[in-house]
């Protein structure tokens, strides 16, 4: 099968085909997910929580991300590989360029950054230099201390309108994918309609163009709490590859997320 690219995902949005993505941090799981037919793998800085047992993603650094990106890359043949830029690794444009280069050289095909309007120049600069960007809005975990906890974002109209405006600016700046985390379903739908790049939701309702889950949540093996928006697909299947195949088909046919997984 042909390698999945940002163009593949864009076409899926245009055709109304739902995109399934999941995190991975090593070659063995990455290989299973790749063979199951997942459309993209994210080496998330969630590894701080699910691999390192930290309380949030702030202790994760660029060396951790490079190491796990290299590991995942060795297990993958066709899936698109996206790597998270960790906390404070893109505080300035220059930092963003040199740290994104490290992730691309480790095997990523795209980098992900958390934030809105303030990232416009950084994203422009990265794309001009050949680095595809996935943006991330809503509950952006690197800002947990600003939010005062892991809380649903965009519940107020002014906040929601601002998020829609930021999504448009990020697309204009050149972002080719947009993760939406923990926002009301209605807002997930509105943002997905407002931009032409694919949106990938986690706790963002049924109407984003795709979904993403942390692999440990999708398999029910996390040392952290199980978020409301996740589902244990291993329980129904008893086999890791079949669990991910079920996840992909449930996303594709609109059964996941269910009403119990969304915020109104
Ligand atoms: O780090 C991560 O796993 C993420 C996803 C939850 C989107 O950013
Ligand atoms: Na992340």
Asked if residue 257 belongs to a domain, the reply is yes
Q: Which residue range(s) make up the domain with 162?
A: 6-261
Asked if residue 1 belongs to a domain, the reply is no
Say yes or no: CB of residue 177 within 6 Å of ligand 1. Answer: no
Confirm whether pTM is higher than 0.90.
yes
CATH number assigned to the domain comprising residue 140: 3.20.20.60
At 100-133, the pLDDT tens digits run 999 999 999 999 999 999 999 999 999 999 999 9
- Residues annotated within the binding site are 45-46, 84, 112, 114
At 138-158, the pLDDT tens digits run 999 999 999 999 999 999 999
Asked if residue 131 belongs to a domain, the reply is yes
HEC string for the chain: CCCCCHHHHHHHHHHCCCEEEEECCCHHHHHHHHHHCCCEEEECCCHHHHCCCCCCCCCCCHHHHHHHHHHHHHHCCCCEEEEECCCCCCCCHHHHHHHHHHHHHHCCCEEEEEECHHHHHHHHHHHHCCCCEEEEEECCHHHHHHHCCCCCCCCCHHHHHHHHHHHHHHHHHCCCEEEEECCCHHHHHHHHHHCCCCEEEECCCCCCCEEEECHHHHCCCCCCCCCCCCCCCCCCCCCHHHHHHHHHHHHHCCCCCCHHHCCC
| Catalytic site residue from 181, 207, 245, 250 | 181
At 40-64, the pLDDT tens digits run 999 999 999 999 999 999 999 999 9
- What confidence score (pLDDT) does residue 7 get? 97
- Residues annotated within the binding site for 3-methyl-2-oxobutanoate are 45-46, 84, 112
Asked if residue 82 belongs to a domain, the reply is yes
Asked if residue 250 belongs to a domain, the reply is yes
Asked if residue 132 belongs to a domain, the reply is yes
Asked if residue 158 belongs to a domain, the reply is yes
Is 193 annotated as catalytic? no
Q: Which residue owns the Cα nearest ligand 1 atom 1?
A: 44
The interface predicted TM-score (ipTM) is 0.99
Q: Domain tally for the chain?
A: 1
Asked if residue 109 belongs to a domain, the reply is yes
């Amino acid at each position: 099968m042909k390698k999945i690219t940002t163009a593949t995902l864009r076409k899926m949005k245009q055709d109304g085909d739902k995109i399934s993505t999941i995190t991975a941090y090593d070659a063995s799981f990455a290989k299973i997910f790749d063979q199951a037919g997942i459309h993209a793998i994210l080496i998330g800085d969630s590894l701080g929580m699910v691999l390192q047992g930290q309380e949030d993603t702030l202790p994760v650094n660029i060396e951790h991300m490079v190491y796990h990106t290299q590991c995942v890359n060795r297990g993958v043949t066709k899936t698109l590989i996206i790597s998270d830029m960790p906390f404070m690794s893109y505080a300035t444009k220059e930092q963003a360029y040199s740290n994104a280069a490290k992730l691309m050289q480790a095997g990523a095909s795209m980098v992900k950054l958390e934030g809105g309007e303030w990232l416009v120049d950084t994203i422009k600069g990265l794309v001009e230099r050949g680095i595809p960007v996935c943006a991330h809005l809503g509950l952006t975990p690197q800002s947990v201390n600003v939010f005062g906890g892991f809380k649903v974002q965009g519940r107020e109209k002014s906040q929601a309108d601002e998020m829609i405006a930021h999504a448009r600016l990020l697309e204009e700046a050149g972002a080719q994918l947009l993760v939406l985390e923990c926002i009301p379903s209605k807002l997930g739908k509105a943002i997905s309609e407002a931009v032409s790049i694919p949106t990938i939701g986690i706790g963002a309702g049924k109407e984003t163009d795709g979904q993403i889950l942390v692999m440990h949540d999708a398999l029910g093996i996390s040392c952290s709490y199980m978020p409301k928006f996740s589902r244990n697909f291993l329980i129904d299947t008893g086999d890791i590859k079949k669990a991910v195949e079920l996840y992909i088909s449930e996303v594709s046919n609109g059964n996941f997320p269910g009403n119990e997984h969304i915020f109104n």
